[in-house]
Chains A and B, each alone.
Chain A
Amino acid sequence: MRTTKFFLLLLLAVALISCDSALDENPSGKLSGDQLNTPSRVEGLVTAAYAALGNGHWTAATYTDPWPWGSVRSDNAYKGGGSVADQGEYNNYEQFSSIRTDLAKADQFWTKSYQGISRANLAIERLNQLSEEDFPEKATRLAEVRFIRGHFYFMLKIMFKHVPFIEAGEEGPLKNVSNREFTSQELWDKIAADFQFAADNLPPSQSQPGRIDQWAAKAYLAKTRLYQAYRQDNSNHQVVEIQDDKLQEVVRLVDEIQSAGPFRLFDDIRKNFLWEFDNTSDGEAVFAVQRSRNDGTVRGRVNMENALNYPMNEGFGCCWFHIPSQNFVNAFQTGSDGLPEFDSFNQTSLTDPQDFQQNTVDPRLDHSVAIEGHPFKYDNEQIYDPNVWARTPQTYGPFTSMKGLQPVGSPSVEQVVFFYASSKNNNVIRYADVLLWKAEALIELGREDEALPIINRIRRRASDSKVKTAEGDNVSNYNVEPYRDGQNINWTQENAREALRFERRLELGMEGWRFFDLVRWGIAAETLNDYFEAEAQRREYLQDASFQEGRDEYLPIPQQQIDFSDGSYVQNPGWN
């Protein structure tokens, strides 16, 4: 009965592999949670938290280059693209009048931001389990990831006002953590605490330029305190108080950065917008998200946040979003005194090539906006022609944005299938911005005289930043002068405030912060409704746009998240 034996053996074989360990399998190419406890692996969590900063995307999570949220929603830019329906939700946000609480893009921004926060929190959790002896960099790394967490909370805060603050290692169901656990001011303090911790624990400089240093933390802390200073009431977002102690902290922090930090203004503003000047030591970048290509990843760690914004000419190819408004272009007009036309700038429109010769303008225009007949990104071989480069000029006008884009043929540009994206770092904070915060704080503190030289320093650099034709002539008819008290302006607090606000628009326009500035100052409703009224005459698609004061300063808390929270989230006013 040999066959019987065979079958008995077969059965035995099956029985033998029956011990429980037969079912033990280990994941391949992955680590289970309990394997993540050595310093080098925890370093991996820190790196991943940095990488979260680079994971923004044009679909909504533009959290390091917030062009749709801070620029398109302001008087600086239109959505652009193939039509108003192209990425149509951005159109709802741009026009304010048809925003629903369940639109997907706000939810994506929210979700992606908390993904970044969770990377930081996982790193904090594991870092706390390591000892200083095992991992001497512990304090530095903790400071770095708390900075990163602070960045994501800051962005959530300016978008949604009331957001849940999740700490590392938080126990229990997170849906019970309400977005109203803290008041708005307390939430600012929580965010400031992350930057304060980072400022206290980071070295002045790091051996790896991509790592965050003490100065970035101090600058972000200053930015947080500046926003916090303008205290809003809870029911309709009106600015009810400007807190001097916060402003004084801004001044103190910027003073420290100025006296001990390594920054200077570039001699020409263009260096901020060209890849070649990334990571220039003693340059202007205070906090920049690092970008790279040919780096071992499939598509490179290029900036996908503005990948939709390239024009339609050969060498780029798609999709012409984030288009400068006519109002924005007009704002660069200067009078014969070389100063902005605060009240009358929008009465005449500069559109045709000759308009930029017959009127005088601030040179920063040619760094920000592509204009017919002018070189695109300083390249005199690439003359901007709206008939080819623009996609829907009938709807959105003839201009194209330039600051975030790199020139045609730049070695930093990667073709991602058929979109273009570059490895130019995203400047989240640059030195000019920091200086203007200080000027702003000084003005609100009634120390406008101290603000004057700061603003003029920015203006002098603007004057030094002329864009030239191949023949060496100015591309436009430039005229920009500093403010001279008693000569071309009476430097009162009120005038200084107006000058500062205008200066921020000219210096930082199209960099994604304008809307948040307007909300901070408490002038969003009045500014935007005035803008819509005039601009709808030029761009008729804006005819239904209107900003509802007390509601539109912040996005609605995404309905999807309110539903998940089982009611522990409270919707923002005006959205119920």
Chain B
Amino acid sequence: MTLQRALLLSFALVLVLAGPAAAQDQHAVEGTVTSAADGTALPGVNVVVKGTSIGTTTDGSGRYTLRAPAPTDTLVFSFVGYQTREVPIQERTSIDVTLQSSTLTQDEVVVTGYQSQQRRTLTGSVSSVEVQELEDDPSTNPIKSLQGRVAGLNVQTTGSPFGNATLQIRGASTLGDNSPLFVIDGIPTKNNVEQILSPGSIESIQVLKDAAAASIYGSRASNGVIVIETKEGGEGNTLEFSYGSDVTFSNWPDGRTYDPLNTRERATALFRAAINDGRDPNTVAPLYSYDFDRRDDGTAELNDITIAESIGNNTPAAVPGTDWTEQISQTGVVQSHNLSARVGSDRGSAYFGLRFHDNEGIIEQNEFQRVNAQINSSFNFFDGRVRVGENLTLSKEKGVPLPEGAGGNPFLLSLRLRPIIPVRTADGAFAGPTGAGSFSDRDNPVRLIEDNRWDEINTGEVFGNINGAVDLTEDLTLQGRFGVDWERTQERDIQQRYQTGFLGRSVNSVQNADTDDFIWTLNATAEYDVLIGESHSVNLLAGAETQDQHLVSNSSLREEFSVQTLDFFVENAGTGRQLVEGFRTDSRLLSYFSKADYSFQDRYLASATIRYDGSSRFGENNRFGLFPAFSLGWRVTEESFMEDRFAFLSELKLRGSWGRVGNQEIEDFAALQLFEPGFSSDDVLFTSPTSTAYDLGGNDAGAIPGGFRRTQRANDNLQWEETTEIGIGADYGLLDDKLVGSIDYFTRETTDILIQPGFIATVGEGGSQFINGATVETSGFEVQLEYRDEIGALNYSVSANVGHSSDEITELPADVVDSFPGNSEKNILGRSQFSHFGFVTDGLFRSQEEVDNHATQPGAAVGRLRFEDLNGDGRINSLDQKYLGDSNPDYEYGLSTNLSYGGLDLSVFFQGVQGREVNVAEFKSFTDFTSFFRGENYGSRVLDAYSPKTGQNLDSDIPSPTLSDTNGELRTSSYLIEDGSYLKLREVTLGYNLPEAVTGPLNLNRARLYARGENLFTVETGSDEFTGPDPETTNFTFPRPRRWTFGVRLGF
């Protein structure tokens, strides 16, 4: 542990270097801060005396007063979204200031981890998000709206109201979890806490993209870091309130639904399937009877279809058919109300935010409500040299999840359940599949929704910290933080008795599950600033951090309730079987870190970071990892030779960095050989049991003995995964910073990637093992630029960003190669981990002659897909496969423009991805393929399929409908891989800020009305036609709805 000591020693050294503070005189200044764009007053602007912690905030009419230590001091005016200005007092007592709005200016303060820095001194790659643009977003999860906003940040999300988002920074650098680390108010978390933050209470979001920027978070930073700060109280004597309210309506996007067949269409499709298979349609379709003429050559012509009047079980046949999607859909309504207050005084300040959010999805009953509160406060003592504060986010959430029935959730069921089934039987009970109708075991989704209305997920979350800082001297600051991240989830699942057709449940039950996830974090840092002479500035930071997680979960199940009401479904009221389950797991992290920043005349910048991390997840010998990083910056525009010749360049900074970060995102106890009792397997309906219990006594019932099953093989040498990244970049400003932007290039290598590969079956049960195996290389670039100007009273800005990243697996242990797509001749090495591997289709067989002339292909027949014999050996088998692109997009981009004129503002935002191959097997199994399983329904594209024996669609490339897919047409092939590129008009917001003439008499300092539309249209920009409803959410993922929002924001 010599390194640990060295770190502590360097920390102590920082303490010793502390010098004494100096005494000062006083000078009073006052003034007004207005926006340069429209001259309106800016409330909430920070005004600070440069080099001190003395400061205030402007009030509701933009006014400030403050006492500076000396009349020669300089005031710094900063406000989020505006360029920071420094104004020397020069003995004046009244100073009015106008601020230019900005995004990428060099004066912006960036929170990079354990400290904040001005952008100009940054040497790593950091993107800031314009949080103002999030404020109007009615999303459940503020992170969703980052999609397309930050170059190099990929956000994938669906239309579910619960709305989880998957994030990736700079592509996928590892094979497992690629999600970034969040640091919220100084506390690191991987628990998706960001989702509960209310957009209005977020002060800033920074995306730390490269290893140099992220390495201070060492062990968990390999996927990048997103730093979020919540709002602080006002400075100086302030008291302001704001209120916002919005309502959003959402619907399925036009033309982007799945269009299942109706009863008669389905009967027609089934007829074609039977005829093309050479079968008698009347032997395959119990509820339809066909009148048709068959010719000698096997072709047939359909004259008429008679549909049975009843499907059995006292259930009339639905003609033209039940539109199940319509039956379960509704207009989604989202409401939210935000109330916040900022207070400030000489001794402290506080921010209170309260948000109520009610979200009803576009599927009935699928909804949730959330109340969250943000309580931040800070107090200062001894002229601001000692500061104590807290940040606290509280959230309570209650929702009704989408139920899962036989055949999946209601959305899937609405596509798959046959339209001939009505919602209700003749006597008003819910209808369902009947034995006589040869239906599949699929639940009536309307019944499912109704019976699951009492299901509930309740989540309470506490996330926060108490913190303290002390300026021992003007240059030396100590800081400590104790954070808690506590999530408690209670789920209730009530299953009622029912009988719909042959599907039923004779025993009702309630299951309650309770999960408690508690993490505490303790960190402490010392930061030391020193100016050596006039030109050399050094900032040193040292710290330590520890984190401890306990996850405990319990659940109970009780059966047989004589009364089926919500109030009666508690365990004690049940009379039947009772079962409990539960588990617990623990993990710990311990880290030391140190950072040094150096700058020479703000012109040459250098930074070095080192972090030493230990995790309980690794084997005893390899618990600690060392993560260093270095970076350099050169502000070229500070050089004297630049001034005349390159006057159009207002800013140019070149950056270069090298860094190493780690990853520990594997299961706890990943290094050990593990056995578990695994007494019971509950999900035995569709998956094979893994129980260890056996009735050795032969009693058929009662307590039977259980044993132990292996769940994991040991790996004593398991250690950290490491990512080494080299990045270069430039930040630039042209034409007096009217055009600003940045450009970055990076290359990464991740080695010793933690994987749990598939394995040969003879290894047996519990054969999985975590190993440090693979190497992945990623490289890419990001360009971000923004132009802003004004024409008279019209202010406008146009910004664009584009990111590219490509990943490649360069090394895999021999044992592991086989668990990636490939065959015995071709493997994934040198390709993206998201590669598709499969057969190449060469159209359809259109005659028996074509079948006979083709290589031996089991299942080949007229109308079937023809697979190419790639290796020319005369037979189609696993060797006839190749790589068919990958699902990692080549480019992701965002385009936006903001216009403001007087009180009106308009923003338009487009987002897109380009060059992304997706596998649409699931969707095509619904619309094209053809294995006409009689229990289910299909998409209307089936009617466009090639049907030679009934004479339809003779030019179609869709394989003919068949009763049984003996050709294996759902195997991965080029027929299923499509270009999923798209460009979407993500949002258009029109806002109006009421003029002071209106707001003044009402004592309002801000009143804003706005309307916003989301997902208004999609352009498919792929190289071939995309057959799914939405290239963004492919297959049966919940599509993103179109939404309309109307809102108001008031400030007092």
Interface mask (A40-56 → B, CB under 8 Å = 1, otherwise 0): 01011111111111111
A69-77, A112-120, A231-239, A456-464: which lies at the interface: A112-120
Any B CB within 8 A of the CB of A108: yes
Chain A residue at minimal CB-CB distance from B388: A3
**Which among B672, B692, B859 is the interface contact of A33 at CB below 8 angstroms?**
B672
Q: How far is the CA of A243 from the CA of B701 in the complex (A)?
A: 45
**Which among B440, B587, B704, B707 is the interface contact of A43 at CB below 8 angstroms?**
B707
Q: Which residues of A contact B691 (CB under 8 A)?
A: 51, 54-55, 297, 301
Any A CB within 8 A of the CB of B951: no
Interface residues of B in 709-744 (CB under 8 A from A): 709-711, 714
Any B CB within 8 A of the CB of A541: yes
Please determine whether A210 and B441 come into contact, CB atoms closer than 8 angstroms: no
Q: Which residues of A contact B823 (CB under 8 A)?
A: 563
Any A CB within 8 A of the CB of B321: no
Q: Which residues of A contact B328 (CB under 8 A)?
A: none
**Nearest CB of B to A386, in Å:** 10
Interface residues of B in 258-293 (CB under 8 A from A): 278-280, 282-286
B-side interface size class? 35 or more
Any A CB within 8 A of the CB of B435: yes
Interface residues of B in 785-841 (CB under 8 A from A): 814-815, 818, 822-824
Please determine whether A30 and B675 come into contact, CB atoms closer than 8 angstroms: yes
Please determine whether B824 and A388 come into contact, CB atoms closer than 8 angstroms: no
Interface mask (B689-706 → A, CB under 8 Å = 1, otherwise 0): 111111111111111111
**Which among A31, A41, A278, A297 is the interface contact of B700 at CB below 8 angstroms?**
A278
Q: Which residues of B contact A271 (CB under 8 A)?
A: none
Any A CB within 8 A of the CB of B436: yes
Q: How far is the CA of A121 from the CA of B705 in the complex (A)?
A: 20
**Nearest CB of B to A551, in Å:** 12
**Nearest CB of B to A177, in Å:** 6
Any B CB within 8 A of the CB of A11: yes
Q: How far is the CA of A362 from the CA of B585 in the complex (A)?
A: 61
Please determine whether B764 and A59 come into contact, CB atoms closer than 8 angstroms: no
Q: How far is the CA of A41 from the CA of B675 in the complex (A)?
A: 11
Q: Which residues of B contact A559 (CB under 8 A)?
A: 878
Chain B residue at minimal CB-CB distance from A61: B688
Please determine whether A47 and B764 come into contact, CB atoms closer than 8 angstroms: no
State whether A86 and B858 are in contact (beta carbons under 8 Å apart), knowing that A55-B688, A563-B823 are contacts in the complex.
no
Q: How far is the CA of A10 from the CA of B815 in the complex (A)?
A: 47
Q: Which residues of A contact B699 (CB under 8 A)?
A: 292
Interface mask (A382-423 → B, CB under 8 Å = 1, otherwise 0): 000001111110110000000000000000100111110001
Chain B residue at minimal CB-CB distance from A47: B707
Q: How far is the CA of A478 from the CA of B681 in the complex (A)?
A: 45
Q: Which residues of B contact A311 (CB under 8 A)?
A: 435
Interface mask (B329-370 → A, CB under 8 Å = 1, otherwise 0): 000000000000000000000000000000000000000000
Interface mask (A267-310 → B, CB under 8 Å = 1, otherwise 0): 00000000100110000000000111111111101001000000
B639-647, B896-904, B960-968: which lies at the interface: B960-968
Interface residues of A in 208-259 (CB under 8 A from B): 208-211
Most A-side CB within 10 Å, residue of B280, B557, B963: B963
Q: How far is the CA of A60 from the CA of B705 in the complex (A)?
A: 26
Q: How far is the CA of A561 from the CA of B507 in the complex (A)?
A: 42
Q: How far is the CA of A317 from the CA of B711 in the complex (A)?
A: 35
**Nearest CB of B to A554, in Å:** 16
**Nearest CB of B to A151, in Å:** 14
Any B CB within 8 A of the CB of A488: no
State whether A290 and B695 are in contact (beta carbons under 8 Å apart), knowing that A33-B673, A85-B931 are contacts in the complex.
yes
Interface residues of B in 601-619 (CB under 8 A from A): 614-616
Interface residues of A in 55-94 (CB under 8 A from B): 55-57, 59-61, 82-86, 88, 91-92
Please determine whether A394 and B282 come into contact, CB atoms closer than 8 angstroms: yes
**Which among B406, B692, B700, B766 is the interface contact of A293 at CB below 8 angstroms?**
B700
Q: How far is the CA of A15 from the CA of B543 in the complex (A)?
A: 10
Number of interface residues of A (CB under 8 A): 135
Q: How far is the CA of A423 from the CA of B708 in the complex (A)?
A: 22
Q: Which residues of A contact B532 (CB under 8 A)?
A: none
Q: How far is the CA of A167 from the CA of B703 in the complex (A)?
A: 33
Any A CB within 8 A of the CB of B398: no
Any B CB within 8 A of the CB of A471: no
Please determine whether A47 and B934 come into contact, CB atoms closer than 8 angstroms: no
Q: How far is the CA of A268 from the CA of B818 in the complex (A)?
A: 54
Please determine whether B684 and A11 come into contact, CB atoms closer than 8 angstroms: no
Any A CB within 8 A of the CB of B745: no
Q: How far is the CA of A52 from the CA of B688 in the complex (A)?
A: 11
Q: How far is the CA of A562 from the CA of B818 in the complex (A)?
A: 10
Q: How far is the CA of A49 from the CA of B694 in the complex (A)?
A: 9
Please determine whether A301 and B279 come into contact, CB atoms closer than 8 angstroms: no
A18-26, A341-349, A447-455: which lies at the interface: A18-26
Q: Which residues of A contact B963 (CB under 8 A)?
A: 83-85, 541
Chain A residue at minimal CB-CB distance from B549: A25
**Nearest CB of B to A318, in Å:** 5
Please determine whether A561 and B706 come into contact, CB atoms closer than 8 angstroms: no
Please determine whether A56 and B688 come into contact, CB atoms closer than 8 angstroms: yes
**Which among B684, B695, B934 is the interface contact of A83 at CB below 8 angstroms?**
B934
State whether A122 and B966 are in contact (beta carbons under 8 Å apart), knowing that A4-B472, A17-B590, A57-B689 are contacts in the complex.
no
List 21 contacting pairs A-B, 8 Å CB cutoff, sorted by A. A15-B8, A17-B546, A27-B668, A48-B708, A51-B707, A52-B765, A59-B687, A83-B438, A85-B964, A112-B688, A114-B762, A166-B762, A211-B696, A278-B698, A293-B701, A296-B579, A299-B681, A311-B435, A394-B284, A418-B504, A561-B760
Closest 3 CB pairs of A and B: A118-B764, A312-B435, A33-B673
Q: A54-B689, A88-B964, A91-B966 are in contact. List 16 more A-B contacts (CB 8 A).
A: A7-B478, A7-B524, A17-B546, A25-B616, A28-B585, A30-B674, A36-B708, A47-B706, A209-B697, A292-B699, A293-B701, A317-B435, A318-B441, A415-B506, A417-B685, A563-B824
Interface residues of B (CB under 8 A from A): 1, 4, 8, 11, 278-280, 282-286, 312, 386, 406, 434-436, 438-441, 468, 470, 472, 478-480, 499, 502-507, 522-524, 526, 544-546, 557, 577, 579, 582-588, 590, 592, 614-616, 620, 623, 668-669, 672-677, 679-682, 684-711, 714, 758-767, 814-815, 818, 822-824, 858-859, 877-878, 931-935, 963-968, 971
